A and B are shown apart, each in its own frame.
Chain A
């Protein structure tokens, strides 16, 4: 029997549409992968094989007909438990589907599970899930990255043909680079946030994990475009695949800029090597490579941790044990209902960020912290757009290191925050960014290269990504399950 779980979403959809293979068979192949892998990597949370089989045995049409996928557990799925990796939402079953979930379903894709993640998407390792960490299939002693770690692992191991994650500061690109995947963070407002449980609303975007740039573009095209339920979607956000040249030569004539000034010191040698590999590969593909300048990314991290936490402190206020989710017992007066429910319901990282964000907005500190961060955001965005002005995209590492060990940074919040140092800029500026596999380290860990483009520049990023893919070429290196 052909290993459907190894195949691309595009191929599967074509075969299912043409009736060459049944969606149920395709689904079973991926579920079998989940049964094999999940005990070792813990990628999945709620699973609904029953309804997935029902869907798969029904009439499926569209560009993703019969393609199985999983979604990060901070995307609402009607009738399927959605916990955000948090105890406070452990019992929660949403009465509606996120817009992106509905659009994928309309395109024929088959959701069968929710993916593990850092609690409320706060983290860079998926160690902050209240339901236990996910593990990197290329080395189960290491993290898959985060916060969308479970989604990454699912697609890296063939549990799903693609998966949805979400980004606030790099939560799709960084795990993509840790697990040998293509990871997209779209232009802010290009994908609806309706049904994505908010973390930092002005930064959040749904993201896509796929094993190829082509699949990533396909899935993105199905979801992109304005949504009447989300006033922050762009009226001009739709994305069409037509005329998109994803051949190895498709990047010819384009120019990428490399911000050497921020890559000089403190870069992990393997990451530095990957960066060089990427530059050479693109050069071979006929892409011009020039040098550009960027503000020190540390400023981005500082700005991000003020803005994202400030918004989060307000976004997470609704989790109070009144209308849904966990309620601490006993709670005989209102104040203790709130403080106990939230004190026991949230994990340490979420608590830490709510405290920081509340502080940054509180009387007497607003100007010195929150407002200053808004000013920094304008500066950082202007600086990034300036760097982009002379080029089609920026080329830089996705993460400063390959996948790190579980527990390695768990005790040091700042060190953890710094693993997003190269990704946060795109979120602050609202521009698209793509992480593309760029080889492996000596001890077999994946490393990704990152492309950052101007708003609505996804098409260009896909062309450059495909060019990089083609130039680096070769058989996909699948992770091996060591039992």
Chain B
């Protein structure tokens, strides 16, 4: 989580005396079993050119056949965004030549997309910030090109069509984001949402989410939009943020020097933090969109929409509310936990295992987060080592006073290596605290005998001598005495022995 990166980007444009206007286009790769227009497997990482057929290879005479689940996924996303699902939408051909596009046109949607409107809330605690969505439409992915390395012997570009025809939703925001930080939050929230919805694995490394950004600057207060530049293939959340910052700097420099921003398409190289111009306006494409004659109009029935509505999972915002209202968590905890649905799921299992909500939250946000970070574990990997039920058991030990807060942390540390039951671990390692008076009394007697002086001082009213004696007792028990019990026994003994 590059939250730090995010914050230092809070408002770069403003620092430079400008207002940034940013719109994001995100391509969401859908997690269907088969491709959008053929029954080839939609699978990442297979041997090149093995998930292919006449349709996704664009062989002469082949025709597209629409995958119903992909349509359902678009409806699900629309419902989550509060957007309009159009009963009837049209597939269109986007015509341009590129080697990894088998037909040299992409089946997409143009002037009649399946989804329009809706909002994505990127607000933080207490301050909702709904970003208006322009549209979402269905389209097919291209194959993958492997371009010759700069230095390296091969001259050709190699093409793999396994990805060709994989279903995508292109989600286009209105130009309503004001900073790289907002773009960062938009993408983070969107990623959470689509993973909760189960329509994609959201894995940006695998290209499951791919982002393009439109950026323009204007003077604060101006209402007209400046000339925009489009940054393509921002394929990590970090790249989105850095790329936009770089573009804001670039445009501010041009405008600051009295120049004009030229409409263009840029590529951002996140490793070297450089933007390179890919295309200028003169070479802008003419995509010649027209209705796809091989596919009927896409019709979505009321029943299909209801089915998706019924299958709708709890959305992140709803979960935050439940964590606060039903589990009584502080707003901060609820926010952090719900921000990652896997973490939230784990947390809920810890609570279900018998831990108090706040205690469970402390363990998950504290020790669990730390341990996972140190070991680079995913939630799944952590759960494999420390099942939620075991963490719940540990929380209960602490509650029962069997282990102190500090010792509990030691037990937790031990649980990472030892699959045993927490109480067993605590006992085996002597981490259980001593609360049994009969076990502590002899020690108390010993200490009073060994330190008559302080005992005398206490009786003559010097309260601070009590602290010394208690310290001795704790040392003698290596800190395992239950502090409360130890205090009571010591007083009791001092009074008793004090009576003539």
Contact = CB atoms under 8 A, between A and B. Distances in A.
A98 B293 contact: no
Interface in A286-328: 310-311, 313-314, 317-320, 322-324
B97 A317 contact: yes
A195 interface: yes
B63 A231 contact: yes
Contacts of A338: 97
Given A314-B93, A322-B99, A363-B286, A230 B63 contact: yes
B62 interface: yes
Nearest to B295: A231
A368 to B, nearest CB: 14
B198 interface: no
Contacts of A194: 61-63
Nearest to A342: B97
A323 B102 contact: yes
Given A229-B65, A317-B95, A361-B288, A201 B60 contact: no
B104 interface: yes
A94 B61 contact: yes
Interface string B454-483: 000000000000000000000000000000
Interface residues of A, number: 44
B54 A96 contact: yes
B207 interface: no
A313 B288 CA distance: 10
Interface of B: 54, 57-66, 93, 95, 97, 99, 102-105, 157, 159, 286, 288, 290, 293-296
Given A76-B60, A96-B54, A198-B61, A318 B66 contact: no
Contact of B60 (A89, A200, A202, A313): A89
Contacts of B61: 74-76, 94, 98, 193-198
Lowest 8 CB-CB distances: which A-B pairs, in order?
A: A317-B104, A201-B293, A361-B288, A202-B293, A195-B61, A197-B60, A76-B61, A318-B103
A193 to B, nearest CB: 6
A320 B157 CA distance: 15
Nearest to B96: A317
A232 B103 CA distance: 19
Contacts of A313: 95, 288
Contacts of B64: 231
Contacts of B295: 231-232
Interface in A216-265: 228-232
B295 to A, nearest CB: 6
Contact of A92 (B57, B60, B293): B60
Q: Is the interface of A mostly helix, strand, loop or mixed?
A: loop
B38 to A, nearest CB: 9
A391 interface: no
B290 A231 contact: no
A148 to B, nearest CB: 16
B63 A358 contact: no
Contacts of B102: 318, 323
A180 interface: no
B286 A84 contact: no
Nearest to A120: B60
Contact of A94 (B59, B65, B95): B59
B485 to A, nearest CB: 77
A311 B293 contact: yes
Given A98-B61, A201-B294, A231-B294, 20 more contacts: A82-B60, A94-B60, A96-B54, A193-B63, A197-B61, A198-B60, A228-B65, A229-B63, A231-B296, A232-B293, A311-B290, A313-B288, A314-B105, A318-B102, A319-B60, A320-B99, A320-B104, A334-B99, A334-B157, A362-B286
A338 B96 CA distance: 12
Contacts of A196: 61
Given A317-B97, A320-B104, A95 B294 contact: no
Nearest to B57: A323
Nearest to A92: B60
A232 B58 contact: no
A231 B66 contact: yes
A140 B62 CA distance: 36
A370 interface: yes
B155 to A, nearest CB: 9
A229 B66 CA distance: 10
Contacts of A232: 63, 293-296
Nearest to B286: A363
Given A231-B295, A338-B97, A322 B159 contact: yes
Contacts of B288: 313-314, 358, 361-363, 366
Q: Which of B66, B93, B97 is most buried by chain A, counting CB atoms within 10 A of its CB?
A: B97
Residue from A195, A228, A314 whose CB has the most chain B CB atoms within 10 Å: A314
7 contacts: A74-B61, A95-B54, A200-B293, A230-B65, A232-B293, A311-B293, A362-B288
- Residue of B95, B104, B157 contacting most chain A CB atoms (<10 Å): B104
Contacts of A200: 293
Contacts of A195: 61-62
Nearest to A334: B99
Contacts of A230: 63, 65
Nearest to A320: B104
A320 B97 contact: yes
Contacts of A75: 61
B415 to A, nearest CB: 55
Contact of A323 (B58, B66, B93, B290): B58
A395 to B, nearest CB: 30
Nearest to B159: A322
Contacts of B66: 231
A92 B61 CA distance: 13
Nearest to A95: B54
B104 A318 contact: yes
A361 B93 CA distance: 11
Nearest to A228: B65
Contacts of A201: 293-294
A314 B99 contact: no
B261 to A, nearest CB: 23
Contacts of A229: 63, 65
Contacts of A84: 60
